[in-house]
Chains A and B, each alone.
Chain A
Amino acid sequence: MSNLIDQTMIIAILPEIGLVVLIGLVLLFGGIWKGKRLKGLGWLTAAGLGVLIVLSLVFAGPQAENQLVWGNMLHHDWYGLVFRLIFMLGAAITAIIAMEYDYGQKSEFYILLLTSTLGMNLMASAADLIMLYLAFETASIPLYVLAGFLKREKSSVEAGFKYLLFGAMSSALMLFGFSLIYGFTGMTNLADLAQAVVQGVFPPSAVLVSLLLVLIGFSFKISAFPFHFWAPDIYQGAATPISGFLSTASKAAGFSVLLRVMFVVYPSLTGQWQLILGIISGLTMTVGNIIALTQKDLKRLLAYSSIAHAGYILIGISAASAFGVGSAVFYIGTYLLTNLTAFGAVALAGEKTGSFAVDDFDGLSRRSPGLALIMLVSLLSLAGMPPFGGFIAKVLVFAAGVRGGMLWLVAVGALNSIIGLFYYLIVLKHVYLYLPQEGAPKLTFPKPAVATLALLSLGIIVIGTLFSPWYHWALNAAQNLF
């Protein structure tokens, strides 16, 4: 590898360069624009991310297999690219929903959002422990601030601090695992580490300890049992679009590194981590779904449902095959669209009525038929009903689980889907069957946000019916890990 910067290296980090430029632009216009025009910051962010998505699709496609760039710090492969597109899409949607509210009139909000996206992008393509850690924190630290962004509200401030506390603690545990990995092998490159594990340079007991410590950090990020307890508190306290971002893009970033590290560094221990992840998966979905049954607050309910979904995604991963990883990636993409739609709809209705209690969504179908329909699509897709995307995604991970010999886990998953269906239908019962309170006015919502959500709902149906091109992408991405 030459020391000069060549074209491939620039192309490999094209989306990241674009993000940095976009951060600069937002900063600049945040200073120039005043008053009502500040709303344009949301448009600028979303449009910029849209342009970046198109540019990366056209130009940033990798030419060779498993190419390493920037001094072996980053991978340049389909796997990274697919995840980067997912993160940028999530950030764009979050910006569109957020720009209607007070916090969306500040340039800091978008800068933090974009910085976090930048970190996630690097997480998905990191090829070195040092890069991985740095990207992990670049993605996390802005999110701590964003969770506590509403600094006049007690609950938001509390959410921000709690998130920082749990996040810093779990990343310190993960880092302790990294320091052991580095110490026993003297290497930090992920692919070299796999060699060290196979050749036995790395004593087996130390390998297992490092594996567990690293898993703690990642489980926190994907909110898997037993490190899921932060999620409901933070999702409830943070501004709703941010909760949506945390539950989708941030979780997807956690999965992107989990997959990369498990399949690249520890392929020789597949038997062990398959079982560990299988058990975590079963517990995660069961705990998430059962506690969700008792929730009265819609944001908390969605938080527990997002914990349960992390469990379903883990089924695909614990199958430990290209098919399993492909279906997990497909699930992550579908889940991002679906959950952002659900959180977006809840954000619009809840901010308007000032309450997120399930009871206050009574008769939403009378007060705003359009939004109620969007909620119907997203919640049914989360529950895994055909013809929505969630159905195909669930079928694929379950099929991967069966093929990977994790029959018991698939059985647990199927039972959990039924529990899940139950509480999603309860919410829909409130929305559709109950009458609104006397004299409750009709609700009107900002047009761009509703149009985006309608487009996303359409996307959910498209993914559920014409799934093969998207699935092909996911499978292509998965192939890079094997």
Chain B
Amino acid sequence: MIPLAWYLIFAAAVFSIGLYGVLARKNIVAILMSIELMLTAININLIAFWRYSLDQGLAGQVFTIIVFAVSASEVAVGLALVISIYRRFKEISAEDINLLKW
């Protein structure tokens, strides 16, 4: 059987790639995708932990399903906001959306 640590390293790597994407990407759709990547990494983490751990119940699976549902609604709201940004700014690059700053 593949050791648990491999899954955790994989999840941590995916999570870090997502975090890097959120901080470094310019295109706001790409930023949303990076957030999804972070949440996917968490799902891998949860499922791997559930499969290998002492948990007799289904908490890990339930948690994963809830994370799925939440991330879907988050991305739905995110895309709606992307559309309204595109309508106002005619632009989806994060660098040009900078009205608010001190």
Contact = CB atoms under 8 A, between A and B. Distances in A.
Contacts of A232: 100, 102
Contacts of A144: 77-78, 81
A158 B49 CA distance: 38
A141 B49 contact: no
B82 A188 contact: no
B100 A162 contact: yes
B9 to A, nearest CB: 13
Interface in B1-44: 8, 15, 18-19, 22, 28, 31, 35, 38-39, 41-42
Given A130-B62, A168-B74, A236-B100, A160 B49 contact: no
A305 to B, nearest CB: 14
A157 B88 contact: yes
A188 B81 CA distance: 33
A29 interface: no
Range, interface on chain B: 35 or more
A175 B100 contact: no
B95 interface: no
A295 B102 CA distance: 8
A134 B80 CA distance: 21
A182 B81 contact: no
Given A137-B70, A145-B77, A186-B55, A154 B99 contact: yes
A236 B63 CA distance: 35
Interface SS, A side:
helix
Given A169-B35, A186-B54, A179 B74 contact: no
A182 B60 contact: yes
Interface in A215-238: 232-234, 236-237
Interface string A142-166: 0011001001111101111110110
A172 interface: yes
Contacts of A176: 15, 38, 41-42, 45
B10 to A, nearest CB: 13
Contacts of A186: 49, 53-55, 59
Contacts of A188: 59, 63
A291 interface: yes
A300 interface: yes
Contacts of B8: 183
A187 B38 CA distance: 22
B97 A141 contact: no
Given A133-B66, A160-B81, A169-B35, A187 B55 contact: yes
Contacts of B62: 130
Contacts of A164: 74, 77-78, 81
Interface string A121-142: 0000000011001100100010
Contacts of A233: 100-101
Interface of A: 129-130, 133-134, 137, 141, 144-145, 148, 151-155, 157-162, 164-165, 168-169, 172-173, 175-176, 178-180, 182-183, 186-188, 232-234, 236-237, 291, 294-295, 300
Closest 10 CB pairs of A and B: A183-B49, A186-B55, A233-B100, A172-B38, A179-B45, A186-B54, A186-B53, A137-B70, A161-B81, A154-B88
25 contacts: A133-B70, A134-B66, A145-B77, A157-B88, A158-B98, A161-B81, A164-B74, A164-B78, A165-B31, A168-B35, A168-B74, A168-B78, A169-B19, A172-B35, A172-B39, A172-B42, A173-B19, A176-B42, A179-B46, A180-B45, A182-B49, A182-B60, A183-B45, A186-B49, A236-B100
Given A157-B85, A161-B85, A164-B74, 8 more contacts: A158-B85, A161-B78, A164-B81, A169-B19, A169-B22, A172-B38, A182-B49, A300-B102
